[in-house]
Amino acid sequence: MDMFTVRETVGLLSDYRIDYSAQTLRSWLRQGKIRGTKSTNGKEVWLIPQCEIWRLIEAPQWEGTPYEDGIDDQTQIDRFFEEVRELQQRINELERENSELRSKLWDENEPPF
């Protein structure tokens, strides 16, 4: 597993236009919000596994969805229900549009039967 220093992680994240400071990352490491390994040589040198960096890169795309990291079960359920309502509304819109297009097609041509 590839490991990266905090400074390297800041650079990788900035390549994806995600701007977290080294100070923020170190704080999150101390709090356990992201996983990493602290060196034992007396200095605060952290190594962050590549999978954690990917998690930080992918996290923003899931914010506000049922798949967001760290949300409670009820929030996740509520978001799934909202997603279902939105999908049902979109299905209804598409069915209306389909019906309108079919009726226009039949107006221009004789029904195929």
Domain residue spans of the chain? 1-62, 64-113
- Picking from 23-32, 36-45, 46-55, 77-86, which range would have the lowest pLDDT averaged per residue? 36-45
Give the model's pLDDT for residue 82: 95
Query: pLDDT per residue over 75-108, tens digit each?
Result: 999 999 999 999 999 999 999 999 999 888 876 6
Cα–Cα distance, 39 to 66 (Å, whole number): 36
CATH code for residues 1-62: 1.10.1660
Query: pLDDT per residue over 11-28, tens digit each?
Result: 999 998 889 999 999 999
The dihedral built from the CA positions of residue 67, 68, 70 and 74, taken in this order, carries a sign that is negative
Q: Band of the pLDDT at 109, cuts 50, 70, 90? A: low
